[in-house]
């Protein structure tokens, strides 16, 4: 089950699944500023990818909220892990939307700098950081679509959503965005 929109030779797609199983060139990790293994997506990526990811991240040290850094992917199918730090949700009026958009944009910039054609994202900040899915999804998808329009790479951006609730929130946001921008949503 999935959905996609096409922008010329580029694709933004949504699927329900496990970020650690993606065969894209890079996967994005929902990291914390200290880049130490945590829970949720972060913990799953470190467990499956092995200790080399944490060792590389430790050498980098820190990553401010709204930014992204890159390590190798250890034992994962992907070649790289892009560690993005999304905001902790407070009240929706404390700059969270800008920081969330920045975390997606900076991750896409790292992918483009590495000349990667494919990257997979989880829903940043919507787990332990408490960002409401219905608010986060339009920010994530709008930021990704803008980046795809303005840059040659990556050509495939896949949102990998954990659970039906997250998938449905992103699907609705994609339908709304597509309707506003004259894009066709293909479901598969």
Residues 6 or more apart whose Cβ sits within 8 Å of residue 91: none
Q: Is residue 176 flagged as an active site residue?
A: no
The active-site residue out of 42, 98, 164, 176 is 42
Secondary structure of residue 77 in the 3-state scheme: coil
Asked whether 78 and 114 are in contact (CB, 8 A), the reply is no
Alpha-carbon distance 22 to 78, whole Å? 7
Instruction: Please give the angle made by the CA atoms of 11, 129 and 144, to the nearest 5 degrees.
Output: 15
Count of CB atoms within 10 A of residue 136's CB? 26
Active site residues: 42
């Amino acid at each position: 089950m999935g959905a996609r929109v096409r922008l010329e030779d580029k694709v933004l797609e949504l699927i329900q699944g496990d970020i650690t199983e993606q065969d894209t060139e890079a996967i994005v990790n929902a990291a914390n500023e200290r880049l130490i293994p945590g829970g949720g997506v972060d913990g799953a990526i470190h467990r499956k990818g092995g200790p080399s990811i944490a060792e590389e991240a430790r050498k980098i040290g820190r990553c401010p909220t709204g930014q992204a850094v890159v390590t190798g992917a250890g034992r994962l199918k992907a070649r790289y892990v892009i560690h993005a730090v999304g905001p902790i949700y407070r009240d929706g009026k404390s700059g969270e939307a800008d920081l969330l958009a920045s975390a997606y944009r900076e991750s896409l910039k790292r992918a483009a700098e590495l000349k990667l054609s494919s990257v997979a994202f989880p829903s940043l900040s919507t787990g332990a950081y408490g960002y409401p899915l219905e608010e986060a999804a339009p920010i994530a998808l709008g930021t990704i679509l803008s980046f795809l329009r303005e840059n040659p790479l990556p050509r495939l951006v896949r949102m990998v959503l954990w659970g039906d609730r997250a998938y449905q929130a992103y699907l609705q946001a994609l339908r709304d965005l597509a309707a506003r921008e004259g894009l066709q949503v293909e479901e598969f």
